[in-house]
Amino acid sequence: MIFIPAGLAALAVLFFFLGRGQGRKAYQMQTTETSSAADLARLASDIAREIGGGSFAQTAELKGTIECDEPLAAEMSGAECVWYRSTVTREYEESFTERDADGKTRSGTRRGSETVSSNERRVPFRVRDATGACEVDPEGASMDGERVLSRFEPGDRGSSLSFGGFTVRLGGVGAGRRTIGYRLEEWAVPTGRAAYVLGEARDDGGRLRVGKPTAKGGRFLVSLKSEEELVRAAKSGSTVLTVLAGLSAAAAVTVLILVLTGVIRGG
């Protein structure tokens, strides 16, 4: 029975570090000053004159409108965007037979789901503010977009599913399973929208752009939410996770004491 308090203790540690991560996220956003495109360009130019090009690198926060010369067309919705993620999930019913603790068997049907297709793409873009525009290389960023499609296609579609110009090979469903239908979902960061970007500005390769931080643990985020919304969410998440860590730790100690005193015994 010692595995129960051990599992609770592991949960407490997990919740603690997740909560601390959310707290650090909120702190970094609050302590990073918003830079304009012109300010970043001027600072990078000044440093290049003093110590040479490719030497500029600093944490940067941008706020502005997304622009892109060659945007993507999201594969299912067709939304013009700089990032999208599409998923197709098969929903099914299956027959089952199981034995309970008393040795009795029961049969029935239950619902389940499985992802049969998932695709994600992103392209570089610019964030434009009142002073100009700054390039963003989104590779490695945490993309926080919006849902642009959520649709359920009922029935079994055989070996493939077509939706507009989009086709996905479905493969076979497991024995004893009946396909109910397919859930199509898509998230995107559309062009022309206000965005918040937190990353590292640098001028390597002769181009100033914001990208994934080179230092380990650096945060890179592209979001359609405002900084205020993101900070509130991170602080709330930190509080909830910290409380869960405390409750899990208390439960682990309580169960351990009960096990050691013989109140709880292995069956």
- pLDDT digit string, tens, across residues 178-188: 889 889 999 99
Q: Does the pLDDT at position 116 exceed 80?
A: yes
Q: How far apart are alpha carbons 143 and 121 in whole angstroms?
A: 11
Q: What is the pLDDT of residues 25-71, one digit of tens each?
A: 777 777 788 899 999 999 999 888 888 878 899 999 999 999 999 99
Q: pLDDT averaged over the chain?
A: 86
Q: How confident is the model at residue 218 (pLDDT cuts 50, 70, 90)?
A: confident
- pLDDT above 80 (res 262): no
Does residue 175 surpass a pLDDT of 90? no
Mean per-residue pLDDT for 196-215? 91
pLDDT value, residue 265: 63
Residue 256: pLDDT over 80: no
Q: Does pLDDT of 99 surpass 60?
A: yes
Q: Read off φ and ψ for residue 232, nearest 5 degrees.
A: -60, -45
Q: What percent of the chain has pLDDT over 90?
A: 41
Contacts by residues 213-217 (CB-CB < 8 Å, ≥ 24 positions apart): 213/59, 214/57
| pLDDT tier for residue 173 given thresholds of 50, 70 and 90 | low
The predicted pLDDT at position 209 comes to: 94
Judged against a pLDDT cut of 90, whether residue 159 lies above it is answered with no
Higher pLDDT, 98 or 82: 82
Q: Which residue has the higher pLDDT, 142 or 19?
A: 142
CA distance 254 to 264: 11
Provide the 8-state DSSP code for 140: T
Q: Are 186 and 46 in contact (CB under 8 A)?
A: no
Task: List the chain domain ranges.
Answer: 3-260
Q: H-type helices in the chain, by residue range? A: 3-31, 37-51, 227-260
Q: Which residue, among 24, 225, 58, 220, has the nearest Cα to 141 in the 3D structure? A: 220
Q: How many CA atoms lie within 13 A of 65 on its CB side?
A: 9
